[in-house]
Structure 1
Amino acid sequence: MPKSLLIGLCLLGAIFAGLLTWRLWPAPAESANSPSSGPSEAPALPVFTQRIDPTPLRERVFSTGTIRAAEEVELQSEISGRVVEIAFTEGTTVEKGAVLVRLDDAELRAQLSRTTVELDLARSREERQARLLEQRGTSQEAYDASLNEVRVLEAERELLRARLTKTEIRAPFAGRIGLRFVSPGTILSPGNTIATLQSLDQVKVDFSVSERHLNRIRTGIPVTFTTPGVSDQFEGEVIAIEPRIDAATRTLLLRAAVDNPRGLLLPGAFARIELSLEEISDALLVPTTALLPGLSTNTLYVVEDGRAAARRVRTGVRTDREIQIIEGLEPGEVVITSGVQQMRSGLRVEPRDREDTEAPAGAGDPST
């Protein structure tokens, strides 16, 4: 075969092989950094949101306390003596001034009779001495002695009368008398308890609140409370404030008064108390899950043009589930209430309703 023909055939084969390779080789992929394709953006993060509108807020403080009688006293004798009569029935109501117990007064009455006779004789001597003094038949000193004797006996008689009144133990106020601890014939000494007497038409409730509420506490604030064993809810108002803070507990002691016409409230009972401090007609309340607390400031996120925007806020009244925003939030703004720990300003968000059955992806537990 001629040499020139061989060379031509080799060139033709090389051209054919090149064309075949070009047709079968896959086209190169477009570079992700090609100028024709812009930078990719992360998808919007689903979040729970809530529109914040002004709403009435009643600031409440919860506490526990003890019910006390409006008036309460332990009935005791001021003098020693033997009980001769018990004039009350346990557990009944007595009127003010009613005689409850009588002590033996025979000895005192005898002393009073003797003193009365001695006083009459002393007055007669004083009158004779006065006439003699006018006639210069006696000295001024003798007359003064007779006059002093009259005055001493008068004082002794009044003392005996006062001791006689103490042999009758009377009710100092109207109320319900409790169980008695004496019997007829008992020898009473001062300090021995006969029974207790309590006025229960109105009762008092003593309870404490934190010292941080001091500047908002005043008399007349309404109080509601319940007590175990009674289904009713009772209402009253603060009537007195202890003028000092308890240094041990840092609390302020308050006293409320409550009407008790049916006698359902008994002294010593436990009370669960709700104290209404302040009524705010246009408070901005956000869920506590929306707030991101910090060392010196609190932050929450609002939705602006589909993106999260951080707001530094000042808080006020806190309830079980909500907290008042005093500064940093405007009425009508939409607050992000889930996933705030992972939130940052500028992040695209997709608002979701809480009624959705599926929680937003990546938002975490919306209730925390």
Structure 2
Amino acid sequence: MELAKVTHKRMTELFGRKSITQQELDEATARLRMAEAQLAGASAKRNQVDARVTQASEAAESAKIQRGYLEIRAPFAGRVIERLVEPGNLAAPGQPLLTVEQMGAYRLEVPVEESLMSAVRMGDRVPVVLEALEKETEGRVVEIVPAVDAMSRSFTVKLDVPGVANLRTGMFGKARFPRGKRQALTVPAGAVREEGSLRYVMTVADGRARLRMVTLGAAREGVVEVMSGLSEGEKVVAPLSPLLADGAAVEVR
């Protein structure tokens, strides 16, 4: 291209001095125009090549992003315990696909009677019995729910339990909290009846059965603790027949 320009300039000067003919100048001009056209064509081809390179790079990046959608990574090491979709199905945004269980970490939630609330502390380590596996391990208290259930008179304690062979989510366990010694009013479990959310016993006064609403606590070894509604020394009917009505005559044996 530069050579064509220099040649054309020289030929123009020679033509001005009447040293060459018009035809020779026209031929130099044509060669310059052809060189310019070739340069323009080469530039256009280079632009096309650059555009294709850019397009290919964008396609590769898009494919990389799309490939990333094919991988699901959990933030922890675990195992899939439930698959909620089948291979090949379309998943909607926000739709759960899998349930993943973290390996080696389990959480046990146990109801604890309210009388032990002051005795349970964060970080306490207590024995945990896994009856289905016939094994015992140790759990650590990681959360104490302060609300007390009005029906059971208990609060919830959550414990971290280490992984045990064959332990699975959904299994049952029991935690043993030290209770110490205290006075408690108890009645035989057979003396208590339930109607919906109500619990009652039948006391005996002057040879008659008297219905008494009670609030219960912990149950163990065939007896149940009475938190309120009954006083020490009062007699109750046990076992309590569902046919016994309030005010019916009873005989103490």
TM-score (norm: length of structure 1):
0.30
Higher relative contact order (CA closer than 8 Å, sequence separation 6+): 1
Q: Larger Rg: 1 or 2?
A: 1
TM-score (norm: length of structure 2):
0.42
